Every structure is written in structure tokens, then in C-alpha cells.
Chains A and B, each alone.
Chain A
Amino acid sequence: MATILVVDDEPEILQFIGTALEDEGHRVLKAADGWQAVDIAAQQRPDMIVLDMMLPGMDGDGVASEMRRIYGEDVPILLITADGQAQQKAERVGAFSHLSKPFDLDRLIGLVSTGLGSS
């Protein structure tokens, strides 16, 4: 069982990712914006972060660099983006992989396992 922090400003997205990962047996922490995500992660180290790039307040970039500042490279990040330059953004952020909206739920679950397995 892993603790996974899911960050997205869209309640429905938080809902289905959270439920799906809980169904896979993970413990899910939810944050609706960047600052909230950093707050939660600082209190409780997640094993992985599923991070939306576009966030109100601090965006995905900011959250990723905060994570590195606190935990180094140890917390794998799966980046979710809505635009075309997902690969570049993922590299910039230091994410192990990325998904473009609208993504396949099975693929998300698969990438989460991969990320957890590699760490």
C-alpha cells in the first residue's frame, strides 16, 4: 500500500483518480491547488504524486520544485497536462512519466504501479 498525493483543481478529476487508486489499495491524499499540495506533502511524505500541471496558485512546476526541495528526487511524479508539450514539461519538472488529458484510467493505474515499482 502506498500513499499517493493527487493534485488537481477539478473536483471530478480528484474524485475519479482518488476512487480508482483507493480501489487499487492505495491511500490517497487530495489537494485542489499547489499550496495545499505542498502543505499536505510537507506533513506527510507521499510515495508518489499525481500532479496536474495547470493549477491555481502555485502551478505544477512550483509544486515539483518544492517536493525536490523537501524530499530530493525520491518522490516520483506523474504529470498530467492538457496541452501538446507534455513530454517537455515532464522532463522539466523531473516527472518519471506523463499523461495528456483526457487520459485512459487503466493507463494511469498502470503508470502509478510502474512509478511505485521503480522507486
Chain B
Amino acid sequence: MGKELASSLEYEEVLDRLARALVPALADWCVVDVVERGFEQHVAVAHVDPAKEELARELQRLYQPISSPRSPMRHVLESRQPWWIAELNAEITVSGADDPRYLDLVRQLDPKSLVSVALTGRTGALGVISFLQSDSNRRFSPEDVQLAQEVAERAALAIENAQLYRDVQRREAELRAAEDRQRLLTEVSQVLTSSLDYQPTLERLARLVVPELADWCVVDVPEDERLGPSLAIAHSDPRKVRLARELQERWPPGPDGTAGVSKVIRTGQPELYTDIPEELLAERARDQEHLRVLRELGPWTSGMIVPLRARGQILGALTLISAESGRRYRHDDLAFALELANRAALAVDNARLYTAEQRARREAERLQQLTQKLGRSLALQEVLDQVAATAAELLESPIAGVFLLNPEGDFELTAGRGVDLSSPMILPRDRSIAGRVVRDGRPVTVSDTRSAAVAALPRLVSAEAIGSLVVAPIIARSGPLGVVEVYSSTPGHLGEHEAELLTALAGAAAAILENARLYEQRSTALARLEALIQQLPVGVLVVDAASREIAVRNQQADDLFGAAVLESINIGRDDARRGLHVDGTPYQPAEWPISRALNQGETVTGERIEVVRPNGERAWLSVNAAPIRDEKGAIAGAVAVYDDVSADELLRRQKDQFLSAAAHDLKTPLTSIRGLAQLLQRQLQRRETDQPERAMSTLSGLESATRKMAALIDELLDVSRLQTVGELSLSRSRVDLGRLAERVVAEHRSMAQRHSFDLEGHEDGVTGCWDEPRLERVITNLVGNAVKYSPDGGEVRVRIGVEQEGARSWAVLSVSDQGIGIPAGEIDHIFERFRRGSNIPERLSGSGIGLGYVRQVVEQHGGAVAVQSEPGSGSTFTIRLPMEAG
């Protein structure tokens, strides 16, 4: 038996063999009861009757006499004194017991004699070995007690050895397990750091853990704080994994979990289920069917749920379940699971940060792309439309609107995507989210309109309800411009992140909108300027320094130079305009005033240029030009203004003509005077005193010449006075118009031998209070013109009469000739100063002042001049003078 004991090294087996070795030789029934450090208890039971052995085991398990502080067994253990009852009777065995099962077991086993001795090893009491006699009806003698003590001594040694061996084995196993876990952790870490896509990583982790650490490994990571299907489910049997997936589909994890994964995620506290009893399953099952499937998935032995925690946040939960392996989790397993979960959480967190960063970068790129697209247009409405479209696109929402502050300070819908723009929509500043957003300069998000009191939601959407919305301010350097609002029908679709994105977009949009606005304002200003330039009575050209092309020009400039010519100009280089300097030399491209202003910064004023218009007419221009400088003073362009001074120039030339004609006319009487004076001198030198009539004739010629000269000078003075003052001061006296006409006709009759004169009505005594010398010049002019402009001779008729017009009487004088007449188109201009008919031959002299003078004098008398003419047949000039003064 000693051999038997020594060779058996498996601790439990040692105890069992020990008990069996002593039955039936020493007793019918043997119980070895070992207690380690007061709590770990191992019991081996052997009975001669295998059928009763199980009863004996039950009795031992139920009543563990050694654990009871006042039991005889306890006394044996502590006192190390044997307990011997040679003759057991019912009185002893059932005394004080009222448990029917106990009584039943004792009755069936029927113990008759008992010896219990302590098992004492080198380290102290190990337990108690009890011997009982029943079926053989034997009784223990004092010798048997002695033998039992000897057997116990040896058994104790064997037990102690087995315990030592067992402890060594156990430590080695623990060491191996620790090594295994370390290896597992290393592998897990490698897996976790191998990829930034955390879902497949966690799936690999789950497969790695199974079956080494658990039979089931489940990873749950809620998305947007909602627990959906598990991220990873691993089991060695793929069929069971499918079943588990189906289970989750049929009974999805609810949001209101008060136990299990939901609770762990909510509280962050791990849960350890050493056992998973049937009751726990029943408690967790939603219904009978659920329970049935749960059972089908079993067996369920033990489980742990640990939180995935990173940076203080619970990201999810790791569930480890022991099933088929029958392994039971203890606290050290839980510690390991927590370690595993921490690493997994770190991986999830890193992956999420990376994903978030990736997403942010993608969104930033997208934002940049969209903003660039925005920046392409400068038309305000186009930009607004694009902002709305971009906002909707960026936030993946169907509806977006841009509301701009109107002059009243309210928000007006100016552009939108998915909204009705046909009718105006105004958001009041004081009662809208937009107003709050602009006031605070911060975006507002309503991620779930059902849970928020969103007052006065604009009726942007008629069919769909608004689930979530974001409003971001558009604030430019000059101040707030408005808001951009984005709506989604899905609650939770728009959140803080979308608010950030929209704010970024609105920021970019603000600058672009402000630019567009300024551009539009500038365009308006430019349009005004353009209109102004077009309205100017002068030609205007503006050249751009960069292109050297004409940037702005008006119709007047086109009329002067020709549109095609202006379009082809490259200032200072190519210039097809035809212009002449005052000395008649043509302008070179670099000589034009606008070119000098652009190239040399010269300011040109009043430069005279004669140009040839596109229609071939010549025009005289007075040109001003100046450089246009930018804020730094650099020449950005040049402007030139072309004033058509052709009329002035014509007048100037006509005045020159008039002056030379006047000088010419004055030379004639002067020649007479000088000639007659020299003739008189010669006559006197020859002492022609015998012929005084010859000298008298010369003197009367002199007198006549001086009178003509004086009259001519008077007329010139009148013309000059009319040019400067505009009117003559008349000196009136009683004048007989007939006699005056007679005198004038007589004078012409003596000179004009090709013309006949016909005078009528000159003896009718038509008189009035008029300026006689001037009236004489008027008649002289008319009669002179009649002679002058009928170079082939003919009759000159002068008629004097009276016309009644109501109470008024008019003295009328008309002069008709049979001369060249006046072209129809020129009759209206014939009385203008310095104007002569275009059909007057070059050889006819004339200052062109005559008829202008005639009209002036007659009108100043309160009268009027009229003309009737037919080219080739002659003209009739008629003057009407009021008979009464004034």
C-alpha cells in the first residue's frame, strides 16, 4: 500500500486511491477529507458497495462535517486525537438531526462502527481520514484504532508529497498560461497596429482570441452612439457565427440596454459571469423564441464583458464567452481581458482619429475645390447660386438657401437649392435663427428638430419635414452679409461637424460675395461713367496701359475717327487715325496727345489737330489728354478728350477772310484817294489854273472816295460792334424810305452799265423813324448784292410800299434780281454772319457780312427780312419796317 501511495502523484487520484486501498481490507467505507489553508477542500470517498458509494459522497458533500466548527471531525483535525465509536447506534447517528435527507442517507448507509484519525504531515494537520463499518457488520477494536493511526501517518506523507507536486505543477501551468497570454497580447498588438482600418483589424483580433482565450469573442463598437450589429463575432464554428448574426438581426440590441454590452458601454464597468446559469439566459431573452435560439447557441459556461476605453472615452465593448471548453473565468482572466480591450480601444481610437483626419482632409480639399469654383464668377447672382449649390453638395443635403441682409436689416432669400425662389421670402432679424447666428457670429445646429423647439422654421420645404438644420453666418470684412442655411429631412444628419464645414464654406463665400458685390458696384459705377461718357458732346478715348488698346470710347469718338480705326489702334505704335498738325504735317502714332500722355505722362491741353472724318469731311479738334495713374502713381492708362471746334475754326477762318476782304475793300477807296491826290498834285505842278474845272472834278472824286471809305469804315465798325456787343445803338430820325432808295439806286446806276434799274413807289412818301445811315447801308447791301450776284446783268427792281397788318403799318422794300439765286438748302443760313452761298464763283469778292448785317439792322428796328429765291432765276429780298417808331 505504501508503494501504491508513493507512486501515485496526481493529487486527487492519490486521495481516491488511498480511500480505495483501505476498502474493504480495513473498513467497508472510507472517507478522506483534506483541507488546505482552511478553504480548499478535497474529499475522496470509497465504499465497498459501489451503489452506496454515491450516497456516501452525497452525504459528505451535503454535510461537510469538517467545515462545521463544533463537529467531531473538526475536533479530530484540531486536537489530532482519534475519534473512535465501536458501536454506533441510531441514537448517536441521528441525534440532533431533523433533515429528512440526512436521516434517509444515514438509514440507507447504516454505519455500525467508526474511527476518525487526523492526517498529520510535516507542515501540520492536513485533514481527517474516517473509517466506517456497515455491510460487513464488523466492529473496530483498539488495535484497529492503532492501525488506523499508522495508516493515517503514511497517508499524510503521501498526501503532502502529492500536494507539493501538485503545487509545482500548478505554478508551471500558471507560468505557461502567463506566457501564452503574453504571446497572445503580442500577437494582438501586432494585429492591431497592422492596419488603420479598424473593422477588419478587430475581426482578426476576435479570431485570434478564439479558441485560446474564449470560445466566443464579440466586439461591439457603436456608431453615432447607437449600438448596431456587432463589429466582429468569432467562433471556431462558422455555422455558429452565422447563427449569432441571425440572432442579432432578429433581435437587434436595443438602445435602452440595462445589462450586458449596453450597460458596460454606458457605465464603463466590466462584468464577469463566472457561471452562466439557465436563469441568466432566461432573464436576457426577449421572448421564448429568443431563449430557444440562445440555448441552441450554447452551451454557456462563463463570460466577461469589458469596455473598450481610450482617452477616457468608451468606444465599445469586448465580450469573451467560454462555452464548449467549459472554462471558467476568474478575476485574473478579467484583468487580462481588460488589458486586451485597452489595446483594442487604442487601435480603434487611432484608426478613428486617422479616419477623421482623412475625412477632414478630403473635406478640406473638396471645400477648396468648391471654393475655387465659386471664385470663378464675379456676377453676384451667379456666386449666390453657387454658394447655395455648394452648401447642399458639401453637406449632402437636398436643401440650401442663401439669405442676405436687406436694407431693412431682415434676411431675404436670394439663392437656393431645392427651394422655391419664385416668391420672396423674408426672415425677420429679431425672430429667426439667422438673426441669432449673425448676432453671435457663430453657426447654429439643430441636429434633431423633433427634440428642439425650433420656432418659426422657414417654410422652405412644403412636402418634407425638416429633421435637422445648420445655419452659418456669412461675415465679410465689411460686416455680416447674411447666412447660408442647409436643411436635411433626416434628424441627426446635420451636426456640429457639418456646422464647421458650412462655416468654412460661408467664410470663403463671404470674401467672394463681397468681391462680387464690389465688382457689381464698380460695374454700376462704370456703367454710369460709360453713360456719362456717351452723353458728353465731345469724343472720349480711354486707353489701357497694359493692352495699349482703346478700353473706352464714345460715339462721338467713333464719329470723329471711325469705329474700325479705333478698334485697331495700338497706342503709340499702330494708329490709323488721320490727323494733321497746324503746319499740315501728318501725326505719327507716337505724336498723338493720348500716346504722349500714356508714354511720357504728359498732360496736353488744347492741342489743335485737323482730322479727316471717316466720311471724308475735315474737322478741327481741340484735344486734351492726361495720364491715368494708379494708387502707386504708375501710369495705368490715359484719357483723351476731342472737342470738335470746326465751327469755331470756320468762324476764325471766316473772320480772317473778312479781315482780308475788309482790307481789300478799304484799299479800293484808298487807291482812289492816293491816285486823285497825286493827280491833283500833278495838275497843280503844271499850273493848270486855266482849267479850274479839271481840278474841281479831281477834288469831287477825292470827296466821293473819302465818303465811300468812311461809309465802309462805319460798316466795318458796325460789324465789329455786332460781333462783340451783339447789337447796335440806333440813332433814329425821320427818314423817307423812297428818297433813300432813290439815292442808293442812283449811285449804282452810274457804275453798273450791264444792269438796268427799275424803281417803284419811291415817290409815295413812305416814311418812318429809322437810323438813316444804317438803313442806307442795308439798301446799298441789298442792291449791291443784286448787282453782284447777277453777273450777267439784267434788271434790278426796287419796290417800296406799305402793308397793313391789323392796326400796324409796315414799310416794305424789296430788291429783286435775275441772277444766280440761292440754293434751296442754304436759304435758312443766308443771313448768318460770314455766310456766303456755296454756288458763288471764286472771283466774286465779298466779306460775307452783308446779309447778316441787313438782318441785324432790320430786326433792331423791329422789322423782319425775308428772301425768295430760285437758283438760276434770281432772288428777291424783302425788308419790313414798322412805320411807327418802336
Contacts and interface: CB of A to CB of B under 8 A. Distances in A.
A17 B664 contact: no
Contacts of B743: none
A10 B753 contact: no
A42 interface: no
A91 B702 CA distance: 32
A12 B679 contact: no
B669 A32 contact: no
B753 A32 contact: yes
Interface residues of B, number: 38
A89 B793 CA distance: 26
Interface in B690-726: 694, 697-698, 701-702, 704-705, 708
Contacts of B753: 32-33, 36
B782 to A, nearest CB: 16
Contact of B672 (A13, A36, A58): A13
B64 to A, nearest CB: 160
Interface in A1-50: 9-13, 15-17, 19-20, 23, 32-33, 35-36
A35 B754 contact: yes
Interface string A53-71: 0101111010000000000
Contacts of B664: 54, 82-83
Contact of A16 (B675, B708, B751, B793): B675
Q: Which of A15, A20, A58, A83 has the most CB of B within 10 A?
A: A15
A58 B793 CA distance: 11
B788 interface: yes
B750 interface: yes
Most-contacted residue by chain B among A12, A54, A58, A103 (CB, 10 A) = A12
A102 B750 contact: no
B675 A9 contact: no
Contacts of A106: 678
A12 B672 contact: yes
A101 B670 contact: yes
B521 interface: no
Interface residues of A, number: 29
Contact of A104 (B670, B678, B697, B698): B678
Contacts of B169: none
B373 interface: no
Contacts of A82: 664, 667-668, 671
Nearest to A84: B660
A20 B751 CA distance: 20
B170 interface: no
Nearest to B788: A56
B792 A102 contact: no
Contacts of A105: 674-675, 678-679, 682
A12 B667 contact: no
Given A56-B788, A61-B843, A83-B664, A20 B682 contact: yes
A35 B787 CA distance: 14
Contacts of A59: 843
A82 B669 CA distance: 11
Interface in B752-803: 752-754, 787-788, 791-793
Nearest to A11: B751
B845 interface: yes
A59 B845 CA distance: 11
A10 B705 CA distance: 9
Contacts of A12: 669, 672-673, 675-676, 701-702, 704-705, 708
B314 to A, nearest CB: 117
Nearest to A12: B672
Contacts of B669: 10, 12
A77 B712 CA distance: 30
Nearest to B784: A56
Contact of A102 (B667, B701, B788): B667
Interface of A: 9-13, 15-17, 19-20, 23, 32-33, 35-36, 54, 56-59, 61, 82-83, 101-106
16 contacts: A10-B671, A12-B672, A12-B676, A12-B701, A13-B671, A15-B697, A16-B679, A16-B698, A23-B683, A32-B751, A56-B791, A57-B793, A101-B667, A101-B671, A102-B673, A106-B678
